[in-house]
Amino acid sequence: MILYGGKTYESSEQNRLLAELKERIPSILSAKPLSPEVVIDAVVKLRDDLLEGKFDDLLETLPQEMVGTYKKQAVSLLSKEHLHMKLRTELGNTDEYITDPVEGFSRIKVRKMPLGVLFHISAGNMDFLPAYSLAEGLMTGNINIVKLPSADNGLSLKLIMKLIEYRPELSDHVYIFDTPSTDIQGMRQMAELSNAISVWGSDMAIEAVRGLAPTGVKIIEWGQKLGFCYISKLSEVRDAGAELEGLAKHIAATKQLLCSSCQVIFIDTDDMIEVRSFAERFLPVLEKAANANASTEIGIRARDTLISYTQRLKACLGEEEKSGDVLRGRGVSVIISSDNSLELSPMMCNVLVKPLPRANTARMLYESRYHLQTAGLICPAEDRDELTEMLLNGGLIRVTKAADMSAYFPGESHDGDYALSRYMRTVNIEM
């Protein structure tokens, strides 16, 4: 299904609509830019209806425990106050101003404006990501072309249609396509219409986008990241048991599917006996958290089981470089490995545990520099500042408590950048 100019069309109409859009874009760009207040008003209306239960039928396909979490987050994060704070934080002062006089030079007028046309290529590992990415593009006044991920179940399209229903003037700035990633020609057509491509996904997906993007198109990458937990001097940590329970709950709740999820637990040691001792202690904690977070919905359980067993079969068939020394529990595993590398785990509550002496941390971080984002930290309070600086100096973007690795904090950046600032340009006019 395609959403074009506020109306829906069959996917077979894609080529015709893209050709028509090429003719339509110049007239939209020549008009007054879309006001962020229009977008905020539509998002707030969506929030209010969500909290009143008007979309409960659309959310039936999601795990019900997550629906409750999303509604709680929406109370604050989709409020008018928070959205205005997001604008201020990510864009700063957007008022037009004139530079101070400098002898021998003209003064200039400075203004922030939309990039023009944004092509969003969304990943399917986070609910509502296409709608969220679109909202950021709209708040910056851009025309938005969105390619839905193959895993999208139609929810994104329905929510976006609601935004347009609330504020019909958004329709000229929203074009949604369910184009499969195999349709290279269709994606190239969308890229050729754009000033910038905002791409979410794996290294392979980003490399593919670079290959189809025309020269001069700005590529805004939100690539695959790998989160990890770093544990130092666990025996000296106050309430270490609660810290480990928090980490286990994080792993169980996210199923390690997010960029911020814990894939590897690094222990500040070079002693493999200590690593094994930790793994044996953590296994029942992880098993308990996984059982508490297990979905009662048969479809979700089947998906999780399929992904988990696929990874195990790959290891058995030699498709994985190493399977490690595996401690298995009910629906979970802790995989002991002696190397220091950061890598993707089998996910679905199957976590890697490795040694990483503090002296070797800088090298590991440098070797992983393209995939760094979040580190959860468990250590004595007196060591926290030092270890935090060590991790940040090595390239980390976020350092959190282990339990909060995937938590959202109002005002935070994404992968070290503010999206809204990347979706705008600064223009200069000589006075």
Q: Can you give the CATH number for the domain in which 8 is found?
A: 3.40.605.10
The answer to whether residue 409 sits within a structural domain is no
Closest CA to 43 of 68, 69, 76: 76
Dihedral pair phi/psi, residue 173, rounded to 5°: -110, 10
The answer to whether residue 13 sits within a structural domain is yes
User: What's the confidence (pLDDT) of residue 202?
Assistant: 86
Residue pointed to by tokens 């290959």? 211
Give buried/exposed letters for 172-209 (b at 16+ CB in 10 A, else e).
bbbbbbbbeeebeebbebbbebbbbbbbbbeeebbebb
Same-domain status, 133 and 21 = yes
Q: Is the separation of the CB atoms in 280 and 327 below 8 Å? A: yes
Q: Say how far apart CA 172 and CA 146 lie, in whole Å.
A: 13
Cβ neighbours for 103, distance < 8 A, ≥ 6 positions apart: none
Same-domain status, 268 and 208 = no
User: What's the confidence (pLDDT) of residue 103?
Assistant: 93
Give buried/exposed letters for 360-375 (b at 16+ CB in 10 A, else e).
ebeebbeebeebbbbb
Query: Domain of 218?
Result: 2-224+415-430
Same-domain status, 204 and 318 = no
The answer to whether residue 202 sits within a structural domain is yes
The answer to whether residue 123 sits within a structural domain is yes
- Using a 10 angstrom Cβ sphere, with 0-12 exposed, 13-18 middle and 19 or more buried, the burial of residue 23 is exposed
Q: Say how far apart CA 107 and CA 38 lie, in whole Å.
A: 33
Same-domain status, 357 and 423 = no
Same-domain status, 156 and 212 = yes
Write the Ramachandran bin of 154: left for phi over 0, alpha for psi from -120 to 50, otherwise beta: left
Same-domain status, 240 and 259 = yes
Q: Say how far apart CA 123 and CA 136 lie, in whole Å.
A: 16
Same-domain status, 281 and 186 = no
Q: Say how far apart CA 38 and CA 45 lie, in whole Å.
A: 11
Same-domain status, 250 and 364 = yes
Cα 180 to Cα 11, 151, 152, 413: the distances in Å are: 10, 10, 11, 30
Q: Say how far apart CA 424 and CA 381 lie, in whole Å.
A: 41
Give buried/exposed letters for 384-409 (b at 16+ CB in 10 A, else e).
eeebbebbeebbbbbbbbbbbbbeee
The answer to whether residue 45 sits within a structural domain is yes
Same-domain status, 79 and 25 = yes
Dihedral pair phi/psi, residue 387, rounded to 5°: -70, -35
The answer to whether residue 380 sits within a structural domain is yes
Measured from the Cβ of residue 128, the count of other Cβ atoms closer than 10 Å reads 16
Q: What is the dihedral of CA 233, 239, 245, 249, to 10 degrees?
A: -100
Same-domain status, 112 and 156 = yes
- Number of domains composing the chain: 2
User: What's the confidence (pLDDT) of residue 319?
Assistant: 46
Measured from the Cβ of residue 125, the count of other Cβ atoms closer than 10 Å reads 18
Cα 257 to Cα 201, 251, 349: the distances in Å are: 12, 9, 10
Same-domain status, 266 and 364 = yes
244: domain CATH number? 3.40.309.10
- List, in sequence order, the alpha helices (H) in 140-178: 155-166
From first to last of the 431 residues of the chain, give the pLDDT tens digit.
899 999 999 999 999 999 999 999 999 999 998 999 999 999 999 999 999 988 888 788 777 777 888 888 889 889 999 999 999 999 988 889 999 999 999 999 999 999 999 999 988 777 788 999 999 999 999 999 999 988 777 788 999 999 999 999 999 999 999 999 889 999 999 999 999 999 998 888 899 999 999 999 999 999 889 999 999 999 999 999 999 999 999 999 999 999 999 999 999 999 999 999 999 999 999 999 999 987 544 444 444 455 555 555 555 555 444 456 999 999 999 999 999 999 999 999 999 999 999 999 999 999 999 999 999 999 999 999 999 999 999 999 999 999 999 998 888 999 999 999 999 999 999 99
Residue pointed to by tokens 């986070």? 126
The answer to whether residue 410 sits within a structural domain is no
Helix (H, G, I), strand (E, B) or coil at 28: helix
Q: Is the separation of the CB atoms in 46 and 159 below 8 Å? A: yes
- DSSP annotation of 153 reads -
Residue pointed to by tokens 């002991």? 336
The answer to whether residue 321 sits within a structural domain is yes
Closest CA to 354 of 266, 421, 224, 419: 266
Q: Is the separation of the CB atoms in 401 and 359 below 8 Å? A: no
Q: Is the separation of the CB atoms in 1 and 8 below 8 Å? A: yes
User: What's the confidence (pLDDT) of residue 223?
Assistant: 86
Same-domain status, 183 and 203 = yes
